[in-house]
Every structure is written in C-alpha cells, then in structure tokens.
Amino acid sequence: QLHVNAAGGSGTIAPSSINTSGRDGAASGGTGGNSGTIDVSGSGNSGITIANATTATRGNGATPGTSGAITLTSLAGSVSGAGVINSLGALTVAANAGINLNGNNLVTGLITLNNTQGTPSGNVFYQSANSGSTQVTGSNLAAGGTFGVTETGTANLTVASAGIVTSGGAVTLTAQG
C-alpha cells in the first residue's frame, strides 16, 4: 500500500507517476500477485493534481491477481488533472472544491466521485477511455454544482445503484465510444 498525506498549508500535492504492481505468476501457470492500494490525501487547503500516470496493476498468471483500489482525498481543496488513472480496482475521490479528472482514465472498477467535504464548491467531471464498461456514482453537494461524466472508449456508461446526487446542478452523462 502506498499512502501519501500532506497536512495543512496551501498549495497542491502533485505526485510524479505513482505505480504499484503485483508480481507475475510462474510461467507454468502460477498465480499473479495483487497490487497494493494507492491512497493520496491532503488536509488544510491542499488540492491534489494528477499530472502523470497513477496505476495499480495486478500480476499476471493462470489466476491473475487483483488491482488495488485508488483513493484521492482533498479535505479542503480540489482533485484535478489530466494524468491517466489506470486500475481494474475501484477509484474513490473526495473533494471540497471540485473534481476535474479529464485524462483518458482507464478505471474498470466502480468510480465514486464525491464533492462533499466541508462546505463544498465547484463542479465534478470525470473522463473515461475504457475499452469496457464504466460505472459511476457520487454526489456534488455544492449549491448548483454540476456532475458530468464522459466515456470516450466505448458507449458503455452506467450509473451504479447508489445513483448521482447534486444540490440543484445538472447531471450530464455522455457516451461517445
């Protein structure tokens, strides 16, 4: 597990590439290893900017390992960036000042986007370039804040059973695949 925490202060957390991977199984049909989880969080008014790839890759084998979950939390700032987030596991994002993850993200697990920390402001946007399905849920409790998801890899975009909630803002789901 990789955990990065920046407490207090101002500015942004802008990690270089973050990668965790499981070992590959033996060529004779072994089991692949699991990747670790990635957890990046900031308190104070720190935001998080994903400028480079963030990847949780399972090990290959006759029985593949599992991909770790990726969690990005900004208690008093935004979570944004065009760096590609890549995982077969879940992605959970929590922010206070909006979410804008506009890279060609490749997360195939459940994507949970919550702009609900403190008194939230801003909008929520996520872009996916999956070759499979994209399933999303979340909340934007900023007054009038929007919630948008665009799927560019396939036309397979679904809302999880927990749904999407806004506080008077529009919800836009676009499948362009």
What is the Cα 37 distance to its own chain's centre?
Answer: 12
- How many whole angstroms separate alpha carbon 79 and alpha carbon 151? 19
pLDDT of residue 85: 84
- How many whole angstroms separate alpha carbon 117 and alpha carbon 139? 11
> Would you write out the chain's pLDDT as a tens digit for each of its 177 residues?
444 554 444 444 555 555 554 555 555 556 655 555 566 665 555 566 666 566 655 455 555 555 667 888 888 888 888 888 888 788 999 999 999 999 898 888 899 999 999 899 999 999 999 888 899 999 999 999 999 999 998 889 999 999 999 999 999 999 987
Using an 8 Å Cβ cutoff, are 134 and 101 in contact?
Answer: no
Enumerate the β-bridge partners of residue 79: 48, 99
Q: Give backbone dihedrals phi and psi of 29, rounded to 5 degrees, phi first.
A: 105, 30
Q: What separation in angstroms does the CA of 130 have from each of 49, 67, 84?
A: 21, 16, 11
111 dihedral zone (left: phi>0; alpha: psi -120 to 50; beta): beta
61 dihedral zone (left: phi>0; alpha: psi -120 to 50; beta): left
Using an 8 Å Cβ cutoff, are 128 and 105 in contact?
Answer: yes
Note the pTM of the prediction, 2 decimals: 0.80
Q: State the CB neighbour count (10 A cutoff) for residue 43.
A: 16
Using an 8 Å Cβ cutoff, are 59 and 24 in contact?
Answer: yes
What is the number of H-type helices and E-type strands within the chain?
0, 17
- How many whole angstroms separate alpha carbon 161 and alpha carbon 147? 16
